Structure formats: structure tokens, C-alpha cells
Amino acid sequence: MKKILNTPISRRAVLGAGVASASLLAMPSILRAQDKSIKIGVYGGYFKKSFDEHIFPEFTKATGIAVESIAEPTGEAWLVQLEQAAKAGQAPADLSMMSQTSMLKGQSTELWAPLDLAKIKNSANLIEHFVNKYPDGRVAGIGAVAWYITLVTNTNAFPTAPDSWAAFWDPANADKLGLLALASNSFLLEVTAATFMGGTQVLDTEEGILKALDKLAEVKPNVRLWYRDEAQFEQALKSGEIPMGQYYHDVTGLAAAEGQPVRSTFPKEGGIQDSGSWVLSRASKKTEEAHAFIDHMCQPAVQALMSRKVGTSPTVKRELLDLTPEEFAAVSSDIPPIIPRYDLYTHKADWINQKWTELIVG
Amino acid sequence: MKREAPKSIADYSPLFFPGLMLIVFFVIPFSTMIAVSFFQRDPSGFYTPDFVFSNYARFLTPFFGKVLGFSLMLAVMVAICCVVIAFPFTFLLTKRPRKVQTIWLVCLLSVLSLSEVIIGFAWSTLFSRTAGITNLFVAIGVMKEPVALLPSFWAVLTGMVYQALPYTILVLYPALVRLDPTLLEAARTLGASPVRAFVNVVVPALRNTIVATLIMVFVFALGSYLLPQILGRPSHWTLSVLITDQAIYQSNMPFAAAMAVFLVLMSLALVGLTLLVGRRENAL
């Protein structure tokens, strides 16, 4: 023991060796930093975990561009952060996945750098409405992922699945529904318009919106729970306490696969299709990398991979995908979807919110 | 002994720390909120410094008046229920042996460790049709089939009283423990029944404590926003729920701030009124 302590290697030398080996270990990341890289914001939790595991490594393998994923909060907090950072010339993330309402709000301050479709060859694969445009035609964002809100039922309480959103209005279903509590996340105005008024275009005018609200008021006696918290409804649906309502298609499918007595139905009027878009902060200097990433994500093979691994609905056309009918049905439907009128929640947000609150609370 | 009025700055020094805390934790946040309530809302999710009354104008409608009225009524009912239940309970508790008292107080303190979320979900299960207490009633033959007891006003009230009761008891306990037992003995000697002695002697003797407790529970209940959502219908949502909606879901900070300022002012006014009435009665 004493011998070891008395070896000629000084304490300083040991420290030096330590520093050297530490820097050697750190080397690969320095090398990588000199290579191409990009910071990408995705919703934290399940989304980020799935992307880190299945999507980003594939992209790095294909292009050599390293991805640093950033967990972004849902809601508008991330938009506010990006906006304030951009004013200071900073980009906490180069690309972000943005909800449609936030995406429109960002457009009003020119927060999103216009994208060049010529550099995104695969954008031709996209379903048309997944290309977000500024009013003057410049491309503001590209559809990243989509998901559906559908009509869900407890199979014990409803042996046969309802086939229309009109089931919500059926007096037989009094006090049996669980619906989302906000106009901007339940999209029930759109559902009402599509089911009873011939389509969401009637919501163009305030008169049309008021008519839809009147029709929607008839649903109130049937609603047991207006939920903000998903867990609140999911539990009640599984137990049969609240046997019908609107919920996320993918999560309901997972619960059914676990043996829970629940099912998700695409009504004949269509499921509600909500989506997230890739947007590039105007403060970002990684324009090339961003285009490469979006191009990569628009490939049918990658979209199919996401449907299988993350459970999202593809944003590219059905015929280009190699998904089996079962795999496709697990995440989407051939029935044309109800697409929310996001413009309402930016231009008329306060007015609709006021009318909606009065409808529900009053 | 006559107290001398403080003369030097050093005499005032014990006030510095509480004063600082009051400024940091009350004056600054509350002033910020008042300032924001006059700012101009920008529909794209931000706000710009300004001096407009539109946020208050939007609030001053029969609709929000009704919601505010309901919130105040609910908080008052919670306060009254809590005190009506807790006062006799605490009184009887103080008559038990020391050891029993300690066990009860420890149990009550442990209820305080439950969060509003847990209380809400626990009561929503208890009141549910599929797993709730009505199944028990069916089993013993009192009811024919299980029913859901929520969402309802009574479910909200029960949840909120449950949540506030431990606080009420802990606030009442010191005063009741210190109550002079000879007062009761004198009443009993003069021929009053135990109930009469309690109502005519104990309650009036502790009137100030009761008023203070009522105010505390009222303020506590006024801020509740989770239980009304979990246990009630939208018509039972308090103003706090709508404030949360505006602040978090609509990113409308100025309007949320205006509503919050109004709620604080209304509750301060009610507390002030209660104290004023109490003082006048004492003077008579």
C-alpha cells in the first residue's frame, strides 16, 4: 500500500491524466457539434420519448445531421417563449411542432420563416391541407403529425356502436356524455355544423356560429361531465360511469387493446382531425437542416413508421403508404375528417370563448 | 405598566421583517396583477402595457355577476357548514382525555396532507354510480339500485366542507381549550341543561373566535377551483374556474387579472362588513 502511495506519479500528473481522458471522452460530442445539427422541439412526455427512440435516430442515420430534441409544453406557452426569444435573435429550438391555433397566431407576427417547397421534394406526398400557408401564399409550416378525436362508447353500456355524432343529441342518452370543456379543444361547433348544418362553412358568419351554439345547447342535458383533464373522462369511460363522449382515437384504441370495454367509432360525418405542424423560427440559422428534416419526415415510409410506433395519423396520402388496413384503421379512417376551423380561435377567440362559457355555465 | 411610544428607528426594527415579507409576497404580486388588469389584450396571446377599462367592462355583466354571486354564496355556505360541524365537535374534543385529543388532532393533520386533487377524485369515486356509497345502500336494502350522486351542488359542498373542516377545527381548538371551565359549571349550577349551557354560554363567549373562523374558511373556500370542476356541473363552477380558463387556456392575462382583482375586492369588502357588524354589536 505504502509503495503505491509513494510511486513517482505526482498528484498533479494524476489530475492531468484525468482531465485528458475526460476531454477525450467529450471529444465525440465536440466533433458532432462541428458537424451539422439541429434543435427540434416536440411535445414533452410520450411524444418526445417516441421521437427520440424511433424517429430522430433514423433521420441522423440517413442525413448525418444530429438532432437535439427539446421538450416543449403544450398550449401557448411555447409560442410565447419562441416569440420573445426571436425578438432577441434567439431560437430555443430551430424547428418546433406547433398546434394549428398557435401556428396561426405565430403567423400574425411573422414568427415562422417561410419554407421553400422546392427543397422539400416529398411535400408532394402530403394531403393538401397539411401545407400551412401565409395569406400571401408563402409556406409557413408543414404538417407533422395528425390525430383524431372520435365518438367513444363503453361497450357494456352500448352493445352496438353509434354511427353518427347525432347520438350526442339523442334524448335517450341523457346524463351520459363526457365532452371536452373548451370550444378550442372540443371542436364541438364544427361537429354541430357538420352534423346538422351541412358543413363547417356555416361558421363563417357570427350568425352561423350563434345558430350552431343554439343547436349545441340542446346537448347540455345529456352532458354529465365537461372535462379539461383527460384522465377524469378516461377512467369514467372505462368503468361505464360515463358511457359515451368524445375522446382521442389512438388512446381509446390502446385501452381497448388492453381489454377495457371501450371502443372508438368514426361517425359517418367524420372524426375530428387535429394536427401539429413543423415550423421554423425566424431566428434560426439552420434553414438547410430544417428543410432536410421536413423532407425526411414527409416520406411515406417515415409516416408509416410513425403510425406504427407513435400512433399518429399520417399526413401523406393514403395510397402512398404501405400500412395494412388494420394498421391504418388503428390511427385513421377513410371517412373524410371534420377539420377544425382554427381561424375562429384566433380571429374571434374572445367572442367565441364568451358565448361558449355562457352556453355551458349559464 | 405604561408602554412607551417607539421613538428611534431601532424601536421600529421588529416590524421590518414582516413588512418586507408583506411587500414581497403581497404588495408586489397584487400590484402587478392590478397593473396587468388595465393592459390591452392582444388576441395572439400577448398583452401590451396600456390603461384600458375594457377588461373590467367585460366582467360587469349579469352573467359574471351570477357566477360571482354563486362563488360567494358557495364560500359562505362552506364556512357556515364547517363552523356548525366543527364547533360542537371541537368543544366535545376538548372534554376528552389529553391522549385522545392528540390522536384526533394527528388524524386531522394527516387529512391536511391530502391535495385537492386526491380529495376530488376520492369523493367522485364515493359518489359514483359504479363504485360509490349507493352500492352499499343497495346491499343493505335501503335503495333499489345504485345512483350517481354527482355532479351536483351537494357533492361540491360536501367535498369543500371536507377539505376545509380540519383547518376549521385546528383554528377553533386553541380557543376552546383555553375556555374557562367555571363558566359552564356556573351555568350548570344555575340549572341549565348541558345543551342550553353550550348554546347560551359557550357560543356567545367565543363569538369573536367564531367570526374569525368563519372569515378564514370563507376566504379559503373562495379560492377553490378544482373541486367544483370535478364534483359539479358547469353551473357550479366558481369564478376561480373561469379565471383559470382565461389565464391558462385563453392566454388572456388582462381579463383574468381583472376578474381576480374583482374577486379580491369583493371578499375584502365582505370581510370588512362582517367585522364592522361585529364591532357594532359588541358596542351595544
Task: Domain ranges for chain A, please list them.
Answer: 35-146+274-331, 147-272+339-361
pLDDT tens, residue by residue, B143-174: 888 888 888 999 999 999 999 999 999 999 99
Choosing among B249, B252, B253, B255, which should be mutated to test the A contact, i.e. which has the most A CBs within 10 A? B249
What pLDDT does B53 receive? 87
Instruction: List the one residue out of B258, B243, B242 whose CA is nearest residue B41.
Output: B258
> Residue A248 forms beta bridges with which residues?
A149
C-alpha–C-alpha distance, residues A349 and A343, integer Å:
9
Q: Please say whether the beta carbons of B278 and B215 come within 8 A.
A: no
Third-level CATH fold of A35-146+274-331: D-Maltodextrin-Binding Protein; domain 2 (3.40.190)
Question: B43, A239: Cβ pair inside 8 Å?
Answer: no
Q: For A79, which residue in chain B has the nearest alpha carbon?
A: B45
What pLDDT does A101 receive? 85
User: A242: helix, coil or strand?
Assistant: coil
For chain A, report the end-to-end CA distance as a whole number of angstroms.
83
- Chain B environment of A228 (Cβ under 8 Å): 229, 249
- Chain B environment of A239 (Cβ under 8 Å): 128, 130-131
- Chain B environment of A349 (Cβ under 8 Å): 43, 250
Question: A349, B237: Cβ pair inside 8 Å?
Answer: no
C-alpha–C-alpha distance, residues B75 and B82, integer Å:
10
pLDDT of chain A along its 362 residues, tens only? 444 444 445 555 555 555 555 554 444 444 444 478 999 999 877 778 888 998 999 999 999 999 999 998 776 778 888 988 998 899 999 999 998 888 888 888 889 999 999 999 999 999 988 999 999 999 999 999 898 999 999 999 999 999 999 999 999 999 999 999 888 889 999 999 999 998 899 999 999 999 999 999 999 999 999 988 777 888 899 999 999 999 999 888 888 888 999 999 999 999 999 999 999 999 999 999 999 999 999 999 999 998 988 888 999 998 899 889 888 988 888 899 999 998 888 888 889 989 999 999 87
Q: Is A87 on the interface with B (CB under 8 A)?
A: no
Q: Please say whether the beta carbons of A169 and A221 come within 8 A.
A: no
Question: A358, B63: Cβ pair inside 8 Å?
Answer: yes
- Chain B environment of A354 (Cβ under 8 Å): 58
CATH code for the domain defined by A147-272+339-361:
3.40.190.10
Q: Which of A108, A241, A354 is the closest to B129 by Cβ?
A: A241
User: A281: helix, coil or strand?
Assistant: strand
Question: B43, A349: Cβ pair inside 8 Å?
Answer: yes
Question: A226, B235: Cβ pair inside 8 Å?
Answer: no
Q: Which residue segments constitute the domains of chain B, with CATH numbers given?
A: 14-94+167-283 (1.10.3720.10)
Q: Which of B43, B66, B235 is the closest to A350 by Cβ?
A: B43
Q: Which of A76, A108, A181 is the closest to B251 by Cβ?
A: A76
Give whole-number Cα distances, A216 to A196, A266, A267, in Å.
10, 20, 17
Arithmetic mean of pLDDT, B240-252:
85
Choosing among B55, B64, B239, B250, which should be mutated to test the A contact, i.e. which has the most A CBs within 10 A? B250
What's the sign of the alpha-carbon dihedral A133, A71, A338, A226?
negative
Question: A362, B235: Cβ pair inside 8 Å?
Answer: yes
pLDDT tens, residue by residue, B208-229: 889 889 998 998 898 888 999 9
